[in-house]
Structure 1
Amino acid sequence: MSLRIVPDSHIESVSTSDSSHKEFGVHDTLRNGIRSIKTEVLPGHPLENRLSQWGETQWELKLNLARQAHGMHAPIKMMMERSIVEKRQRLPVLPSSNLHLNILLGKDETIDYEDFLNDPTMSTDMLDVHTAMEHKLNLRV
Structure 2
Amino acid sequence: MALPSLRTNGFGSKQAVQETGAYGMQDVMVNGFTCVKNSLAAVHPLEESERQYNSNVEKMQFSTSRSIQGLHAPIKLAAERNAARQIGRLPSLPSSNLMLEVLEGNDETINFEDIYNDPMEMVEVLRPPQFVMEKHLRLS
Give deviations 1:80-124, integer Å, cap 9, x for gaps: 0001001142356742221111111111221111222234x3329
Instruction: Tell me the number of residue pairs that the alignment of Structure 1 and Structure 2 aligns.
Output: 108
Closer, same or farther: CA 125–90 of 1 in aligned 2, 3 Å: closer
1:3 aligns with 2:3: yes
Question: 2:40 is matched with which residue?
Answer: 42
Q: Separation in 1 of the partners of 2:122 and 2:66?
A: 44
**Contact 2:88 / 2:95 at 8 angstroms: preserved in 1?**
no
Matches within 5 A, 1:24-63: 37=36, 39-45=37-43, 46-63=45-62
Question: 1:82 is matched with which residue?
Answer: 81
Where do 5+ consecutive residues of structure 1 fail to align?
14-25, 28-34, 128-136
CA drift of 1:41 comes to 3.3
**Contact 2:81 / 2:103 at 8 angstroms: preserved in 1?**
yes
TM-score of the two chains, using structure 2 as the length reference: 0.59
More helix, by proportion: 1
Give deviations 1:22-77, integer Å, cap 9, x for gaps: xxxx88xxxxxxx973x343312232211111001101101111111111111111
Partner of 1:114, secondary structure, is: helix
Closer, same or farther: CA 114–58 of 1 in aligned 2, 3 Å: same
TM-score of the two chains, using structure 1 as the length reference: 0.59
Matches within 5 A, 1:1-141: 2-4=2-4, 7-10=6-9, 37=36, 39-45=37-43, 46-90=45-89, 94-119=93-118, 121-123=119-121
Structure number, greater radius of gyration: 2
> % of aligned pairs identical?
35
